[in-house]
Every structure is written in structure tokens, then in C-alpha cells.
Structure 1
Amino acid sequence: MTQTPRPRPVAAPAPSAASPEANHAPNHAIVIGAGLGGLASAMRLGAKGWRVTVIDRLDRVGGRGSSITQGGHRFDLGPTIVTVPQGLRDLWAACGREFDRDVRLVPMDPFYEIRFQDGSTFTARQDEAAMKAEVARLSPGDARGYEKFLKDSEARYWFGYEDLGRRPMHRLADLVKVLPKFGMMRADRSVYAHAAGRVKDDRLRFALSFHPLFIGGDPFNVTSMYILVSHLEKAFGVHYAMGGVQAIADGMARVIAAQGGEVVHNTEVDEIVVEHGRAAGVRLTGGEVMRAGLVVSNADAGHTYTRLLRNLPRKRWTDRKVKDARWSMGLYVWYFGTKGTRAMWRDVGHHSIVVGPRYREHIKDIFIRGKLADDMSLYVHRPSVTDPSCAPEGDDTFYALSPVPHLGFDNGVDWAEEEPRYRAKMARMLEDRLIPGFRDRITEEVVFTPETFRDRYLSPYGAGFSIEPRILQSAWFRPHNISEELPGLFLAGAGTHPGAGLPGVIGTAEVLGQLVPDAPRRLAETRELRMAAE
């Protein structure tokens, strides 16, 4: 039976979260949203001496990285891979903990297999020699161009990820300083244009340019700085967290609890409280007010400014500015469990990408025209081949994801009408090209459409990844980690710098940690120690 989740009822906060002490302590920080960016921010704040309350409207931590268990199948709802484990290890280390004691990562080999319309395949691995052999197998004449692409990718990694991506970008002067390097690296070119300039085979052009879709970007318009993902995969590999990304989120919550913080579930923030020109806490949908010395919003940046600060006059992120932004695509995701199939489809691994007949025009349908096309390309996740805990013994757990238009187009999709038809098209494609006979073995299924993302995650226009990472919506141009609209307010998550994707949202907390001061009590204790030493 298909189930489309609806918004969960909002309950009153736990008594401990609304206690007088929590409402008045100057060392108290509130984080809105228990997504991965919010949890990482809470950990960073806890390491700085803040006592943190994380408030979330769902019934478990993880946000888009959470899971649903149904009929013995654990459906990982959002991100499925870890590409930069060191970012998580650094986060745990900042809290005096060891990540690998809390979460077990296993490397993927291969990373994924791409299946093209003509029946050919491309298998991505970490080993450089294996990758070069794969390129040569498909298109011998593109071998040297691929080597140049790898060098391009590494250069952009050091500049775009290790430099810009790990420091604040809220001052205009920071942008001005890096503009010459942006120009030198041709950041004005798209990811696809850069790949097309290095290789001639259309299949390789796809294989080297589709990655922005994993962070909500149009490969034909997103800045070529994002080819750095190819180096991320080569340098760090692709990993899976046993227990899914939910296991990472649960580990984060345990660290927060050990720091003296707490996560309050089934509770929604209605508004950020402003007093004396500063963020002073939050008002819940039930009317209760919780006060704090600072507020971090891990809610979508658009929702933060247009809803949570709806009564605050804003200079930059006005309602019009948010509406006119280019938003990432929507997502149609079909989660399903199959009975007795673990030994079937032996050529189908953990990650598969099934490519449709069109690339450029299909992307235009999604991002530019807002049209739900008849054809599709699919990302298929089969975690049960790696992690037996996600399905009953002998069974499989899958999700199949298709990029679709967000809800903001004038010719918007009526998902109540289109969803059954779209699922039938997806099923035919999966039957024909990946997992024949699967429909007869489905025992559980859940469907997410862009409307689910809008209602469950309060995502503007049901966008899957917040604001699209085009060049004029990245770095300084993106909503800043420290709000220019309201002192005492900070932002984390996909909609702020450095952006979407698991490394990106974890990185927003790293940047935030450089901007947030130590808690007042910790500062006072530090002064006392210095005075005693003198």
C-alpha cells in the first residue's frame, strides 16, 4: 500500500525545554531543526560551552537524513553516501569524541554504476588506474582529456572546498579578494561545459557532469567549481554508514546529550523572538516562548526569512528576493521493499544510475521549463546488499529517485493526479533496465513528491536542496551563516554557505563555529583562570 506522509501534529514542548532556567540562562542557545546541519551546529556550540536545545517538528533526528521503518524495511529518506569522512571526524574531535567509535563507515567499491540508454555502462571507483581503464574502454581518445579533467578537479577542490568552503564568506571584501581566482579558474563556465571541453564522448560528458544534481544544481548552469566532486571521490572515496545516515544523526544526538544539551521532538517554531534589535529566543506554534542568548536556524534559509522573521523588516532577504531566487529541483522518491529478492539481480549493486534518452533537454524541462517530462533518469539505492539490517532476512530495501520540477512554476504539477502515472512510468523503466519482475515482489512502499518536501521539511516550493548553487547564489551571494538581518541569529544547513550535500551541511557548522563566540559563562571562567595564573 502506498503511503504519502503528511505533516506530523505539533505537540507542546517537553517541560525541561520550557523551564524558567532554559528561558533565561545567558549560556542557552536554541537550534531550530534537527537536520544534520542543526545537529552539527549544536555539537559545535556545546563544545564552546553553550547549553543547547534543538527543536524539531519531526519525531526523530536527522531531518532530510532521517529514516522511516515500515514492515521491517528501513527507508533512508535522503542522503545515502559519505564522501568526506574527515569532516565528520573533525566534528567529533572538536567535541572531544571519536567518530569511528560511534558510527561504522564501510567503503563502497564500486561507488556506482551508470547504465546508459544504449546498453553501455560506466563503473566509478576510487582507484585511478581503474577509472582510466574505464574511460579508455568507452572512448580511448578521451584518456588524456580525462587526466586533464582530474587535475582541474583537484585544483578546484583546494580552492573551492578547502579554502572558500571552510571559512566564512559574509563580508563583501572576502568575495572581492577571490574574484581573480574565480576568473582564472573559469568559474563562469558550467560543470557540463567544462567536462565537454575535456572529453568528447557524450557518455563521459554525462559521467563527469551529473554530480551537481546531488546538491540540487543544473549541470548546464552551475559553476564549474563543482567539478571538485570528482576529486572528493578520488581522494576520500565513497562510504556508507551502517544503519544509514540515520545512524550518523543518532550519534550526533548522543554527543549533544553528553554535552548537557537536548533535542525536543514534535515541536515547531513559529517565529524567532526579537528584543532590543537582537534574536532573543523563539516562539513555538503553541504560543510558548523560549529565550536564549543566541539562535541558530537550520530551517531552510527561505523559510527562516519569510516565515520565522516575517514581522522583521528585512533589507536583503525580503520576500521578493527569496521568491526571485533560483531554487533547486524537486524530487520524486519511491521507497519500496521486496520479498525474497536478496539473491536476485546480482548485477545490481548498492548505487545505480539509469540514464534516460535525453540529458540537456530533460534538465531544461526540470530547471527552466518546469515541465514534468515523460522520460526520466533515475538514481537507485539498494542498501540491503551492504547493510542487511535495513530489510527482513532475504528481502531488499530500495529507493528510486527522479529529479522533477519544484512547485514554484506557473505551470506547476498536480501531484495528486500525476503521482500514480509517474510511478507507473518509473516502474516500467526499472523493470526494463535494472530489476525485472520487482513489482510482483513489493511488500512495502512510501512515496515522496515535492509536496512532501514542502509539508514535511517546510521547504519553499518543495525544493529538494534549498537555493540552487549557481555562481551568483554561492559563497557571498548565498544567505550568510551569520545573519545580516538580525544580530544573534546564525544560519546552518543547505541554504547557507558552503551549501547542500552531506559535506556541505556539516561544513556550515564548521563555519558557524568560527563565528559564534564562546558561551558567556565559559568566557568568564577563562578570564578567571587567566587572572589566577597572573
Structure 2
Amino acid sequence: MSNIAIIGAGPGGLAAGLILLNQGHQVTIYEKDHRVGGRSKRLTFGPYHFDSGPTFFMYQPILREVFERANIDFDKYLQLTPLDPLYTLYFNEYTLKPSSDINQTKEVFESVYPGAGNDYVKWYQKQTTKFKRVMPILQKPFPNIFHFLRADVLKGAPVLHPFQSVYKYLSKLIHHDDLIHTLSFQAKYLGMASFEAPSVFTILPYLEHMGGLYHVEGGLNQVNETMAQLFIKNGGKLLLNTKVDRLWIEKRTVKGIITDQLHQSYDDVILNADFAYSMLSMTKDKEVKTYHHQKIKSMKYSVSAFMMYLGLDTIFDFDHHSVFFSKSYEGYLKRLMSESSDVSDMSFYMHNPSKIDKTLAPKGHSSLYILVPVPNLDANIDWKTEQETLKKQVYATILEKTGVDITKHIQMEQILTPQEWQDDFHVYKGAVFNLTHGFNQMLYKRPQNKFKQLKHLYLVGGGTHPGSGLPTIYQSAIITSQYLNTKKA
């Protein structure tokens, strides 16, 4: 049995903690904030409650596996409400409402051009094969280049198309840009544009279309709250409002943590906090081989998010999830990825959970969440000035596309810019989707779950293998717990 510290009570840290407790380890989680969740925690402004970050609950089998490995009955603690349609997509000339029912979505596609329905079915079938080949690769560690010789990798290689982008891959199957965008806007979950993201990530929309999207009462933050309660109930120690200042490192070995100038000794340490921010703040320069400070600063980071949390005095009939596409979506993506300071004609996402969840706002009111993907702090944007411009644009677009003027109903408005993501959430450069997912920062080239540069340090979260996004973050917790269980054995 090992005595293990986890830095950060985000989804990955909580999931790892639950599994490790069931393996017989002693586990203490350190969280700098007053509540769990990290960038996916609950935010409360007066009587209105919000998810701070992720809102899409998809591919539940991975979280179910976390609970199974922790010997906890998933259905006893989490009730999921399926969403149909998956989302409403607002394009220039029409709206589309894809479903997790393949036949319904086939009809949605067919409405755009003759034969598009059959093109969609062909795409779906190809993704079914790809998914079966890709998942075994993502479920295992990938610590070095020789893992390309694994049987599962060799079997998956023919369907991966590693040198094609998501957009290029889709353009060979789907023959209308709006429909390509319907199956590629999910690349922004990785903080990337569809013309940059490797084509392997066409499995992201497939996960939505195949397995559906779900709502948890109170928001996705309640998954974190539930795991925290179970962690404490099962014997874990959770220290809130407790910031870890540094990793205690001696001779390339992590001996424990340093908090409030006190050295706390642990057999192993798991880092769930933002990888880049932690390496820069918790280690001395060149104390970590390979991932020294200059290397960290030179790596490629995702876009950020401009957040609007709105308390309204009414409940609008918007669907649970909505995406508003800019007039020139390709131009928007190019500006976004080039770190342009031009924030005109932006695309954005809107979350309207109060339509089905009455726990988030007073009776007759609603909590409306808007996320605008924007450049990270590498871009020269004065957010104190530009946030007013961006807000007005968002409100005008909603009015134009839906006929609804939400500004007349706003009782509370809270804004979160890339600067706050860095300053308050400790997300380096405000890059909320972590390191980008080009092949030079994936698999063995991504910081590994068993951190090779420092003994007894392990990683979970979006900055390690398999990558960012809640399903892969939960998978990172499973991989890391397997490493530590093997060590115990």
C-alpha cells in the first residue's frame, strides 16, 4: 500500500483517487479552491448556478468503468437524462438538429442536398470501424515510439489516416461545407480547428451520434461533487483551500509536496493541476529534464474561451445545446488559429440547461451559459476593451438567428476572459483545452501518465495521454491507477 498525494481535485484527480482507494492505497487530494472540479467546477452568482467549463456528457462507458474500478454502483449515484436532439446548429440559411437516432440524422442531412443522407450513413459506418480500432490504443499507455509496433496499433493504422486533417478527411465523404462543419466543429473540444486536427478525431462527433449526449441534474459539476463525496466516504482525505506550492524534488525524484513551507512526504504524487502552469510554478528551471521552463513555453497550446454566465428572468425555448456558426466559418477558424486580435464574426456555443433542470435558477428564471472560442493569451487582445464588443456581437447574433432579444431579460451577467482562466484557474495562457493535439504532442510525444522525467510522479488530466476532454481525462485516471496498482503488486 502506498501513501499517495493528488494535486488538484479536477475530474481526473477525483477519478484516480476513487480507484486508488479501492486498490488499498492511502490517498490525499490537495485542492487550492474552496470546492472541487477545477475548470469544470460549479459557479454560483446569487441564485444562479452554472458549469464553469465542460457541459457535454458523452460516452458514459468510461466514467462507468471508473465507478466499477472503484467498486461503486454508478446508477445509484448518477442519473442521466438523454438529450434529443443532440444540439441545434444555426447556419446562415437554416438550422439543423442532429440526433443520436441514425435514421433521423440521415433525414437531417438529406434535407441539405440529395444523397447527403446516404453520405452520412457511409461516414457513420466508417467511424464505427475506426472507433473499434482507435479505442484500444487510447486505453493503454503510450510511453515510447516502440509502442507503434503493438498489435492494436498496427491493426488500427489503416483507418487512422494520420496525415489527413479532420476537414480533408470529411470533404471526401460529405459534399457540403455546412454538413462538414456539423461533423467537425467538435475539433474545438481539443482547442483546434478542423483543418488542423488530425482526422482520427472524427470519432468525437461519432461518440455523440452513436452514444448520445446526456444531462446530469445540477450540471456536469455534480459528477465532480458526487465523486468527492464518495472519495471522503470511502476513506480519502480531501483538503480544500490548500495550495501546493512546489513539488519536493531531490535527484530527479519526487519525495512529496511543499505547502505553506512544510515538506509533506509521500510515496507517489499525481499531478492533476494544469500541466504547463504546474511545471512553471512548482518546479525550478531545469529541475525537470526535457520539460524545463523553456520547453514548456515553446510547446503549442490550444485556444481559450470567452465565457458569459447569464441569469435571466425567464426560460427561453432554446435547445439544451446550441452552436451559432459565424457568417464565414472558415475565415473565423483561420483567424482563431492565427491568434488574430480580430474578434468580429465569431462562432459560439450556448447552453440552456434550465429548460429541463429547475435546480439551476429561481422558479421562472434560467441560467444561460455562452462560450466563445477565442485565441489564448499569446494573442495581443485587450480583453478589458474587447469584451464589450464581443458581448454585443453575441447578443446581436442570437437576436438575428432566433428573433430573441435576451438583453431585456438579463438579471445577472458574469464574464470570464482568457486572463481570468490563467489568473484564477491557473490555466497556462488561458488555454482551456490544454496542449494541442497535433501528432507532435500526442501518444509518446505527450507528457506521459508515468512521468519519465521525475521518479514517483504521475499525471492525469488533459495535459497527458490520451488527451483533453472528459472521457479521455477519465481514461488517464484509469491508466495512472493501473501503473500504481502494478507497482503495488
Do both share a fold (TM > 0.5)? yes
In the alignment, structure 1 segments of 5+ residues that lack a partner are 1-25, 524-534
Q: CA RMSD in A?
A: 1.7
Give the deviation of 1:384 after TM superposition. 0.2
Secondary structure of the equivalent of 2:245?
Answer: strand
Q: Using the alignment, how far apart are the partners of 2:391 and 2:282 within structure 1?
A: 35
Could you give the per-residue CA deviations for residues 89-130 of structure 1, whole angstroms, max 9, x where no partner exists? 111111111111111111001110101012x11111110100
Distance change (3 Å), C-alpha of 1:505 and 1:372: farther
Other-structure match for 1:101? 76
Change (3 A) 1:114 1:48: same
1:206-257 C-alpha deviation (Å, 9 max, x unpaired): 1011111123222111100000123212332111111111210011112211
* Aligned residue type for 1:202: D
1:505 has 2:473 as partner: yes
The 1-side partners of 2:149 and 2:434 are apart by 25
Please show how residues 15-30 of structure 1 align to structure 2 within 5 Å: 27-30=2-5
**Is the alpha carbon distance of 1:488 and 1:376 closer, same or farther for their aligned partners in structure 2, counting shifts above 3 Å?**
same
State how far apart, in whole Å, the 2-side matches of 1:227 and 1:362 are.
Answer: 20
Q: Map of 1:36-75 to 2, 5 A cutoff?
A: 36-75=11-50
Aligned partner of 1:291 in structure 2 is 265
> Closer, same or farther in 2 for the Cα pair 1:276/1:322, shift >3 Å?
closer
SS of 2:319's equivalent?
coil
Give the number of equivalent residue pairs.
487
> Does structure 2 conserve the Cα–Cα contact (< 8 Å) formed by 1:48 and 1:519?
no
* Contact 2:7/2:273, CA 8 A, preserved across alignment: yes
1:469 aligns with 2:437: yes
**Inter-partner Cα distance in structure 2 for 1:185 and 1:287:** 48
User: 2:148 aligned with 1:175, yes or no?
Assistant: yes
Letter in 1 for 2:125: K
- For residues 131 and 326 of structure 2, what CA distance do their matches in structure 1 show? 30
Instruction: Return the alpha-carbon distance in structure 2 between the equivalents of residues 435 and 472 of structure 1.
Output: 45
- In 2, the alpha carbon distance for the partners of 1:181 and 1:81 equals 27
CA contact under 8 A between 1:372 and 1:405: conserved in structure 2?
no
Three-state SS of the structure 2 residue aligned to 1:198 is coil
Does residue 285 of structure 2 align to residue 317 of structure 1? no
1:407 and 2:381 aligned: no
Moved more, 87-96 or 397-406: 87-96
Aligned to 1:158: 132
- For 1:183 and 1:269, the matched residues in 2 are separated by 45
How much has 1:387 moved relative to structure 2? 0.7
Please give the residue correspondences for 1:130-529 in structure 2 after superposition, counting only pairs within 5 Å. 130-160=104-134, 162-177=135-150, 178=153, 181-182=156-157, 184-275=159-250, 277-284=252-259, 286-311=260-285, 313-339=287-313, 341-342=314-315, 345-346=316-317, 348-409=318-379, 412-434=380-402, 436-517=404-485
- Once residues 33 and 501 of structure 1 are traced to their aligned partners in structure 2, the CA distance between those partners, rounded to angstroms, is 16
Shift of 1:179: 6.4
SS in 1 for 2:338: helix
| Cα drift, residue 184 of structure 1 | 4.9
Residue type at the aligned position of 2:426: L
Q: Deviations over 1:126-164 (max 9, x none)?
A: 10100111111112232332222112222221222x211
TM-score using structure 1 length: 0.88
2:84–2:99 CA contact under 8 A, matched in 1:
yes
| Gap runs ≥5 in structure 2 | none
| CA distance in structure 2 between the aligned counterparts of 1:438 and 1:71, rounded to whole angstroms | 19
1:434–1:281 distance in 2 versus 1, CA, 3 Å: farther
- C-alpha displacement of 1:331: 0.3
Give the distance between the partners of 2:159 and 2:460, measured in 1 at CA.
Answer: 30
Shift of 1:79: 1.0
Deviation of residue 175 (structure 1)? 2.9
- Mean CA deviation greater in 230-239 or 96-105: 230-239
TM-score by length of 2: 0.96
Contact 2:339 2:378 (8 Å CA) reproduced: no
